[in-house]
Amino acid sequence: MKIANPVPLFPTYRELHELALNDYPSLTEYLNDGPVWRVQHWHWAEDFLRYVGRNKSEHTYIRFRNDVERFLLWSFNVKDSAIDVLRKSDILEYIDFCVTPPTAWIGDVACERFQLANGVFAANVDWKPFRLTPKKIEPNIKVDKKKYRPSQQTIKSTFVALAAFYRHLMDEEICYGNPIPLAKRDCKHLIKDSQVKAIKRLTDEQWQFVLDAAMKMADNNPLYERHLFIIATMKTLFLRLSELSERDGWLPMMSHFWVDETNNWWFKAFGKGKKIRDITVPSGYLKYLSRYRQWRGLPDLPYSGEQAVLVEKIRGQGGLTSRQIARLVQEVFDYAHAAMVKSKGPQAALKLKEASTHYLRHTGASMEIERNRPLKDLSEDLGHASTSTTDSVYVQVERQKRAASGKDRQVD
C-alpha cells in the first residue's frame, strides 16, 4: 500500500494562538480532502496544544506538537481510522511504525513547517515528521535514512505525549478510555534499563579546551565576547538553553543578577514548569560577567533595575533565541574540537564533536559533585524538584566504587 506524503499540521504556538485554520489554505484543503473526522481530529489536537502552550511552556508545546502531529498523520494516512476508536493493539502498531517509518517521512535537516507566500501560509514540501539528526552531516556524504532508529528516550516521550493527549480527550468527554498505558506496558521496543548511565558531560580536560577556545576567540576578535560569556554562564550557573534565551513572557536581563545584604551574588532564572529560582553566583564567575559588560560599554557589575538585555542581538532589539545561542556555542565547540584533535588526538576530543549545549549544564553540575558540594544546595541551583533527581542524574560515586571493586578481577 502506498502511503501518502505527510504534510505539517500545526505551526508554532504563537501562530496557532494568533491565526485561524483558514490562514493555512493548503492545510485546510488537505484536511477536507479526507473523511470528515480529519477536521474534527485537528481541532481536538488544536485544543489540547493550546492548553499545553498556555499552561506549560513553549518547549513542552513543541515536544507534544511533534508527537501528536505524527500520531494524527499516521491515523490519517496509514491507519485511516479515527483515534477515539483505537485500542492497545493499534497503538502498538503505531509505535512499530515510528520505529521504522517510511524513508519519505524522514528528513535530515530542520525545516520550517509553513512558509508565508502571498499573504497566506503554505506547507513546506521539504518538512518531514521524522528526522535523522547526526551531530554533523559531512559535505558530499549522503545520509542513509534507512538507518533511522528512535532512541529509548524518544519512544518514552511518545508515550508521555500521547497519554497526556488521551487524558485531555477523556476530560473533554470525547474518549472514554486511554489505551496508552496498556500499550506502553506491552511495547516490545521499550527496554527496562538497569545499565550504567553515562552522563553527557565534558571531562575536565575537554572543558578546559572549550574555555580556552572561547577565550582565544574573544581575545582575537571582540565579536566573540558573547560566545565566551555564554559558555561561562551556561556551565557555571547550570543554565538550560531556554533559560538564557528570549521566549514568550520572559526576557533575561542584566538586572536578574542581584546581590544580597551580605554581598552574595545571585541570578534569577525562569526555568521548567514556569518556576523562577535564584542561583548562587560564584566569585570566580564575576570576572567573566565584568569582561562581557565592559565590551558592551556597561558598568562592571549589574545594578538593581538595569534594563540591559542579558544576551542581546548584535543587530536589532531583544535577546537571542535558543537556536541562535546554540549556534554560537557550536562555533566554540568546533574550535575547541579542532584544537584538541591537533594536541591530543581524535579519540580524546570525541565528545566535543557530539556535545550539545546541555553538556555545559551537566559538566558544571558534575564538577560541583566531585568537589563535594552539598547535594541539597546543588539541587536548588539546578532547579530540581527533589534531591533524588540530582542524585540519580549526576552522582557517580557509587558507580566509581563499583568499577574499582571489579577492576582487579582475574581471567585465570
Structural domains of the chain ordered from first start: 13-185 (no CATH), 204-403 (1.10.443.10)
The radius of gyration of the chain's CA atoms, rounded to the nearest angstrom, is 24
The pLDDT, as a whole number, for residue 353 is 87
Determine how many CB atoms are found less than 10 A away from the CB of residue 25. 13
Instruction: Locate 349 and state its grid cell.
Output: 576530543
The pLDDT, as a whole number, for residue 8 is 94
The pLDDT, as a whole number, for residue 229 is 97
Q: Is the model more confident about 397 or about 162?
A: 162
Residues linked to residue 120 through DSSP beta bridges, in sequence order: 117
**CA 190/CA 156 separation, integer angstroms:** 8
**CA 348/CA 335 separation, integer angstroms:** 15
Largest Cα–Cα distance in the chain? 77
The pLDDT, as a whole number, for residue 243 is 93
**CA 303/CA 280 separation, integer angstroms:** 17
**CA 390/CA 269 separation, integer angstroms:** 18
Instruction: Locate 62 and state its grid cell.
Output: 513543541
Phi, psi of 133 (to 5 degrees): -120, 75
The pLDDT, as a whole number, for residue 231 is 97
**CA 335/CA 353 separation, integer angstroms:** 10
Question: Residue 412 pLDDT more than 50?
Answer: yes
User: In three state form, how does the secondary structure of the chain look?
Assistant: CCCCCCCCCCCCHHHHHHCCHHHCHHHHHHHHCCCCHHHHHHHHHHHHHHHHHHHCCHHHHHHHHHHHHHHHHHHHHHHCCCHHHCCHHHHHHHHHHHHCCCHHHEECCCCCCEEEECCEEEECCCCCCEECCCCCCCCCCCCCHHHCCCCHHHHHHHHHHHHHHHHHHHHCCCCCCCCHHHHHHCCCCCCCCCCCCCCCCCCHHHHHHHHHHHHHHHHHCHHHHHHHHHHHHHHHCCCCHHHHCCECCECCEHHHEEECCCCCEEEEEECHHHCEEEEEECHHHHHHHHHHHHHCCCCCCCCCCCCCECCECCCCCCECCHHHHHHHHHHHHHHHHHHHHHHHCCCCCHHHHHCCCHHHHHHHHHHHHHCCCCHHHHHHHHCCCCHHHHHHHHCCHHHHHHHHHHCCCCCC
**CA 330/CA 335 separation, integer angstroms:** 9
Question: Residue 316 pLDDT more than 90?
Answer: no
Place of cell 533524588: 388
User: Residues 339, 257: contact at Cβ < 8 Å?
Assistant: no
Question: Residue 398 pLDDT more than 80?
Answer: no
The pLDDT, as a whole number, for residue 54 is 84
**CA 32/CA 314 separation, integer angstroms:** 45
The pLDDT, as a whole number, for residue 264 is 95
Question: Residue 136 pLDDT more than 50?
Answer: no
Give residue 394's pLDDT band: very low, low, confident or very high (50, 70, 90): low
Question: Residue 410 pLDDT more than 70?
Answer: no
pTM across the whole model: 0.63
Give residue 18's pLDDT band: very low, low, confident or very high (50, 70, 90): confident
pLDDT mean across residues, the chain? 88
pLDDT tens digits, residue range 56-98? 777 889 999 999 999 999 999 999 999 999 999 999 999 999 9
The phi-psi region of residue 316 (left if phi > 0; otherwise alpha if psi is between -120 and 50; otherwise beta) is left
Question: Residue 404 pLDDT more than 70?
Answer: no
